């Protein structure tokens, strides 16, 4: 066996050793067990982590939730203009609102189950940096009804457009 072939074989064996699964459970499985990953979609969950099998707000079984799509963009000088749509991305889910303070955007996201993953807030923060972004809320029945009710009250008042 010449040196060249030997090198090739050695390299292949090294690569195999690196990719071979370690003994026991995989790192991702271990993260599921320690409550860092969602059991349903394997997405990384935001802290604080509670040991044991956990679900993100999108996969959480039981509680029925309404998915609402939120599109936000910076509008000078008022702040952040948010539009709400039902899951079909067409039907309005509520009256558009404008937040002066971007912290209210985060507050709404947290309250509405819109941070299922560890990267969710980063995703929204990135949108704020570039001036526009989108995210999904997972609303309870009560929250969804309340948001929809803003559409009815919008009919009485003249919208600013
Ligand atoms: Zn999930």
Please give the distance, rounded to the nearest whole angstrom, from the Cα atom of residue 142 to the centre of ligand 1. 22
User: What residues contact residue 121 under an 8 Å CB cut-off, 6+ apart?
Assistant: 46, 106, 109, 115
Checking if the pLDDT of 81 tops 70, the result is yes
66 neighbors 141 (Cβ within 8 angstroms) = yes
- Longest alpha-carbon distance in the chain: 88
pLDDT in tens, 37-72: 999 889 999 888 999 999 998 888 776 789 999 999
Angle separating helix axes 120-130 and 102-111, nearest 10 degrees: 150
pLDDT for the residue numbered 43: 92
Distance 31 CA to ligand 1 centre (A): 13
Question: How high is the mean pLDDT of the chain?
Answer: 86
- Return d(Cα 132, Cα 149) in angstroms, integer: 26
Reply yes or no on whether the pLDDT at 155 is more than 80.
no
Distance from residue 127's CA to the centre of ligand 1 (Å): 22
Distance CA 47, CA 111 (A): 16
- pLDDT exceeds 70 at position 31: yes
- Quote the pTM value: 0.69
> What is d(CA 144, CA 86) in angstroms, rounded to the nearest whole number?
10
Measured in angstroms, how far is the CA atom of residue 109 from the centroid of ligand 1?
17
Q: What is the CA(120)–ligand 1 centre distance, in A?
A: 12
């Amino acid at each position: 066996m010449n040196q060249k072939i030997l090198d090739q074989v050695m390299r292949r064996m090294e690569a195999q050793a690196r990719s071979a699964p370690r003994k026991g459970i995989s790192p991702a499985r271990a993260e599921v067990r320690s409550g860092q990953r969602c059991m349903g979609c394997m997405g990384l969950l935001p802290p604080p982590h509670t040991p044991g099998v956990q679900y993100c707000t999108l996969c959480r079984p039981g509680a029925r939730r309404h998915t609402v799509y939120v599109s936000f963009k910076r509008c000078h000088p008022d702040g952040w203009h948010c539009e709400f749509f039902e899951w079909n991305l067409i039907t309005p889910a509520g009256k558009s609102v404008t937040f002066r303070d971007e912290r209210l955007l985060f507050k709404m996201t947290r309250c509405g189950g819109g941070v299922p993953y560890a990267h969710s807030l980063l995703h929204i923060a990135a949108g704020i940096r570039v001036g526009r972004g989108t995210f999904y809320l997972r609303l309870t029945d009560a929250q969804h009804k309340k948001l929809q009710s803003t559409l009815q009250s919008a009919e009485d008042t003249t919208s600013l457009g």
